[in-house]
Structure formats: structure tokens, C-alpha cells
């Protein structure tokens, strides 16, 4: 049986270029949403490197902890939110939204938990510097492996703009 991402055996530092994590991320996206997350060119290691280093869209994931924390953020997401990898993977995901916007963010996550995904999310987020920005046309989905184990939730978006 697969271990959830909050399990001590899996350190987020290992996930940036991890082909198994890519399979979880892309596989759950394809199963729930019905479309691929990324082009199916190259092996899983090459795809993981492309998604982390070169993808022109943001991808983030958090685990199943009681106060979920980010376990993955590709370089596009790091630039958007102004956190480096080491900062991102220790950040509770609720801090990606300002306090007044956290209730709305929680409603989104509750819908994703109930329905498996949401395909066209729009919301305000906050960067490390305090810069506020809209994310638009975001897809948020459950990270569920082929055995049905829940590992967290993920989001992908390519559109963002200043508030």
C-alpha cells in the first residue's frame, strides 16, 4: 500500500525531479480531468525535469497533513510566489492566500475533496513580498494514486496578473 506524502519516508526535497512523483501528479490529473498535464514526450525523468525546470505554467502540490504544507512547486510557481524551493516545501499552503481570502480558498479545497477536481478556478493569492495577484483558469485536483490512496491536492495555472 502506498504511503501518503506526509509519511516520514518521503522527503519533499526528493520530489522536485522524482519520476514517481511525476507519475502521481500527471496520472491523477489525467484520470480525474481526462486530459494530460504535460506532453507525453520522453521518459518520466525527462518529463519531471521539464515540468520542474522549464514548464511555462505553475504547478504546486500540498500533502494531507492537518495543516497541509507544500511538497512541490515548480520553478514557475517559485517565481510567481517569490519563494525558493527550500522555503516553499516548509510553507503551510494556507499561507498562499491572505487571511481574509483563506475561507474562500478552503471552500475551493472542500469542493475538490468532494468532486475530485475543479477545472476553472480564479482567486487572489499573495507572494512572499506581499504582492497580491489573481490566479486564473486554475485546475485543482486530488493527488490520488492508482491504488486509490490520497496523497494531497495539486494545482496548475498559467494565467496570473496583479490585483
Q: Pairing state of beta strands 117-126 and 132-144?
A: antiparallel
Determine the pLDDT at residue 151. 95
Task: Quick: pLDDT tens for 88-101.
Answer: 998 999 999 888 77
- The answer on pLDDT for 7 being more than 60 is no
Query: Phi and psi at residue 8, in whole multiples of 5°?
Result: -60, -25
> Around 141, how many Cα atoms within 13 Å sit in the side-chain half-sphere?
22
Pairwise CA distance, residues 15 & 21, whole Å = 6
What's the mean per-residue pLDDT of the chain?
A: 89
Determine the pLDDT at residue 13. 60
Instruction: Please measure the distance between the N-terminal and C-terminal CA atoms of the chain and give it in whole angstroms.
Output: 44
Determine what percent of the chain is predicted with pLDDT higher than 90: 76
Determine the pLDDT at residue 4. 53
CATH numbers and ranges of domains, the chain: 12-162 (3.30.450.20)
Beta-carbon contacts of 60 under 8 Å, excluding residues fewer than 6 positions away, are 70, 72, 73, 74, 77, 88, 93, 96, 154, 155, 156
The C-alpha cell 490529473 sits at 29
Which grid cell is 9? 519516508
Task: Quick: pLDDT tens for 33-79.
Answer: 999 999 877 899 999 999 999 999 999 999 999 999 999 999 999 99
Asked whether 39 and 30 are in contact (CB, 8 A), the reply is: no
Weakest mean pLDDT among 2-16, 53-67, 123-137: 2-16
Instruction: Considering only residues 117 and 2, tell me which one the structure prediction assigns the higher pLDDT.
Output: 117
Determine the pLDDT at residue 88. 94
Which long-range contacts does 14-18 make (Cβ < 8 Å, 24+ apart)?
A: 15/71, 15/72, 15/89, 16/48, 16/52, 16/72, 16/85, 17/45, 17/48, 17/49, 17/52, 18/48
Interhelix angle 19-33/44-53, nearest 10 degrees: 80
pTM of the complete model beyond 0.85: yes
Instruction: Considering only residues 38 and 14, tell me which one the structure prediction assigns the higher pLDDT.
Output: 38
Amino acid at each position: 500500500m502506498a504511503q501518503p506524502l506526509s509519511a516520514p519516508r518521503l522527503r519533499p526535497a526528493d520530489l522536485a525531479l522524482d519520476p514517481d512523483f511525476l507519475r502521481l501528479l500527471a496520472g491523477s490529473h489525467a484520470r480525474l480531468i481526462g486530459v494530460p498535464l504535460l506532453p507525453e514526450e520522453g521518459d518520466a525523468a525527462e518529463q519531471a525535469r521539464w515540468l520542474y525546470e522549464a514548464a511555462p505554467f505553475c504547478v504546486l502540490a500540498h500533502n494531507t497533513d492537518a495543516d497541509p504544507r507544500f511538497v512541490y512547486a515548480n520553478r514557475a510557481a517559485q517565481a510567481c510566489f517569490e519563494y525558493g524551493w527550500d522555503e516553499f516545501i516548509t510553507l503551510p499552503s494556507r499561507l498562499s492566500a491572505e487571511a481574509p481570502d483563506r475561507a474562500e480558498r478552503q471552500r475551493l479545497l472542500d469542493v475538490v475533496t468532494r468532486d475530485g477536481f475543479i477545472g476553472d478556478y480564479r482567486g487572489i493569492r499573495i507572494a512572499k513580498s506581499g504582492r497580491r495577484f489573481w490566479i486564473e483558469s486554475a485546475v485543482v485536483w486530488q493527488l490520488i494514486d492508482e491504488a486509490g490512496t490520497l496523497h494531497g491536492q495539486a494545482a496548475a495555472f498559467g494565467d496570473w496578473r496583479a490585483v
